[in-house]
Amino acid sequence: MTNMRHSLDTGPAAIRPPPGCPPIDAAADRAHFPALADGLRYLDSAATSLTPTCVIDAVRDAMLAGGSAHRGLYPLAQRATAALEGARRDVAAALGGAAEQIVFTRSATEGLNLVAEGWARPRLTAGAAIVITRAAHHSNLLPWRRICRAAGAELRIAECDARGVLDLESLTPLLDRRVVAVALTHVSNVTGAIAPLDAIAALRRRHAPQAALIVDGAQALPHIAVHAPGSRADFYVFSGHKVCGPQGIGAVWAPVERWAEAEPLLVGGGAVLDVGDGHIVWSEGPARFEAGTANMPGAVGLAAGLAFLDRHRDTARSVALTAALRTRLARVPGVRLLGDPPGAVGAVSFVFDGLHPHDVGAVLAERGVAVRVGHHCARPLLAHFDVRSAIRASIGLHTSAADLDALVDGLRAARELLAPPETGRGEVHR
């Protein structure tokens, strides 16, 4: 597999499939994924990636080994500590960084809350501003909205165009000396649009150089190898369950100097060196932000998932497969695709004229095809497309042309079954 590594300045044009790109069936073997053993056509990787056997084995072995990291001097605890810190080094290496730059969280959601509350909130005053985009997942919207309301600051939203691509002309006037942070979504979980981070970073540098750049990379890492230290991001946030790792684990990458400026989101055991009646001495390094007993098996699983992903990820194939998915869906009568971003990767969302997404999803589920239906934790972006609920198909390492064919066949069956009878056989109610 071709595993192209990109810094965060990747734009859509940079990852279009080159001539002679691998065929879309050149995927990681389905046999790696026990969940597919019953023939499931899984097209919901944007929600949660399937877990390969090697990751399951890594988590199981870590749990069998037992022990609590950083909680004892006996061999069992020391092995747990070594496993946790080894996983931290491996996760950092997967992003081209150093271990002390990685803080483990339980999810990307917690990571974004950590950055919002721990770094941005202490710097936010009345009259200051945070900039987000219309494409933000709720996890990259709600923390910023909350801290802005608490501080009397302004939440500014950069718009998307009809294709679902960030409108740089709407972003530029939002950037000024009052902006504390610019929080972006690297890849949209609705349209697969890739943010033009190079252009955004240049605008930030020109108009708001004091602002931190925070990137939600949850949907990007499954398809794009990111080199975080070579980027212009101040914080890069991601989750384990979207990169072939287990649920309940995530991480934030940031330069050490940024972590030195931040306050912990959670406080408790392990986060402090000393506590007295009137003083607190915080722990050094990542431990300051990882209060409580560490999820050592989760960290081991995250490292194993990223290693598996690094062996099998192919950006050109992901782009080609996403384009093939769009093409197939566009040929189904009654389907309306949401947006048309160039070089989209990972996800395609759509509505079916006259049919409720939940009804369509139920028909597909009966046929062994798994898709996501609902608002995808992205209400503002769906409202931009004038819908409240949509169907989303998203790809993983195991996705093949046969999966896309099964989806299209299922949609045609849903149309025949669910279309109102007064429209005539095979016609979609409009």
Domain 54-310 bears CATH identifier 3.40.920.10 = no
- Please state the rounded mean pLDDT for residues 7-30: 50
- Please state the rounded mean pLDDT for residues 262-285: 84
pLDDT value, residue 44: 98
* Alpha carbons within 13 A on the beta-carbon side of 306: 27
Residue 410 has pLDDT above 90, yes or no: yes
Q: Of the ranges 10-24, 58-72, 111-125, which is most confident?
A: 111-125
Same fold, 5-52+314-423 and 54-310: no
Share of the chain above pLDDT 70, in %: 91
Threshold 0.75, pTM exceeds: yes
Q: Which residue has the higher pLDDT, 12 or 373?
A: 373
Residue 419 has pLDDT above 90, yes or no: no
Got the DSSP string for 304-328? HHHHHHHHH--HHHHHHHHHHHHHH
Strand ranges in 112-161 using DSSP code E only, listed in sequence order: 129-133, 154-158
Residue 1 has pLDDT above 50, yes or no: no
Cα radius of gyration (the chain): 22
Mean pLDDT is lowest, of 36-40, 114-118, 278-282, for 278-282
Q: Does residue 185 contact residue 341 with C-beta atoms inside 8 Å?
A: no
pLDDT value, residue 223: 96
- Please state the rounded mean pLDDT for residues 199-209: 94
Mean pLDDT is lowest, of 19-28, 132-141, 263-272, 273-282, for 19-28
Q: Which residue has the higher pLDDT, 1 or 324?
A: 324
Confidence band of 15 (pLDDT split at 50, 70, 90): very low
Q: Which residue has the higher pLDDT, 16 or 279?
A: 279
Q: Which residue has the higher pLDDT, 245 or 422?
A: 245
Residue 189 has pLDDT above 90, yes or no: yes
Got the DSSP string for 11-75? -GGGGSPPTTPPPTT----GGG-GGGTT--EE-BTTT-PPPPHHHHHHHHHHHHH---TTS-SSH
Confidence band of 287 (pLDDT split at 50, 70, 90): confident
- Please state the rounded mean pLDDT for residues 297-312: 96
pLDDT value, residue 267: 87
- Cα pseudo-dihedral 365, 369, 374, 378, rounded to 10: 160
- Please state the rounded mean pLDDT for residues 166-185: 96
Q: What is the rounded distance in angstroms from the CA atom of residue 164 to the CA atom of residue 340?
A: 7
- Cα pseudo-dihedral 259, 261, 265, 271, rounded to 10: 70
Write the secondary structure of 33-45 as one string of H (helix), E (strand) and C (coil). Answer: CHHHCCCCEECEC
- Please state the rounded mean pLDDT for residues 218-223: 96
Residue 354 has pLDDT above 80, yes or no: yes
Query: At the topology level of CATH, where does 5-52+314-423 sit?
Result: Aspartate Aminotransferase, domain 1 (3.90.1150)
Q: Which of 325, 339, 332, 321 is nearest to 385 (CA)?
A: 339
Residue 199 has pLDDT above 60, yes or no: yes
Confidence band of 28 (pLDDT split at 50, 70, 90): confident
Q: Which residue has the higher pLDDT, 260 or 279?
A: 260
pLDDT value, residue 25: 65
Point out the residues that are catalytic.
377
Average pLDDT, the chain: 90
- Please state the rounded mean pLDDT for residues 174-192: 97
Q: Does residue 132 contact residue 155 with C-beta atoms inside 8 Å?
A: yes
pLDDT value, residue 326: 96
Mean pLDDT is lowest, of 19-28, 82-91, 416-425, for 19-28
Residues near 293 by beta carbon (within 8 Å), at least 6 away in sequence: 68, 69, 71, 269, 270
Q: What is the rounded distance in angstroms from the CA atom of residue 385 to the CA atom of residue 373?
A: 15
Domain range annotation of the chain: 5-52+314-423, 54-310
Strand ranges in 314-429 using DSSP code E only, listed in sequence order: 335-337, 347-352, 369-370, 372-374, 390-394
Confidence band of 429 (pLDDT split at 50, 70, 90): very low
Q: Which residue has the higher pLDDT, 265 or 222?
A: 222
Confidence band of 12 (pLDDT split at 50, 70, 90): very low
Q: Which residue has the higher pLDDT, 430 or 373?
A: 373
Share of the chain above pLDDT 90, in %: 78
Residue 203 has pLDDT above 90, yes or no: yes
pLDDT value, residue 16: 38
Confidence band of 26 (pLDDT split at 50, 70, 90): low
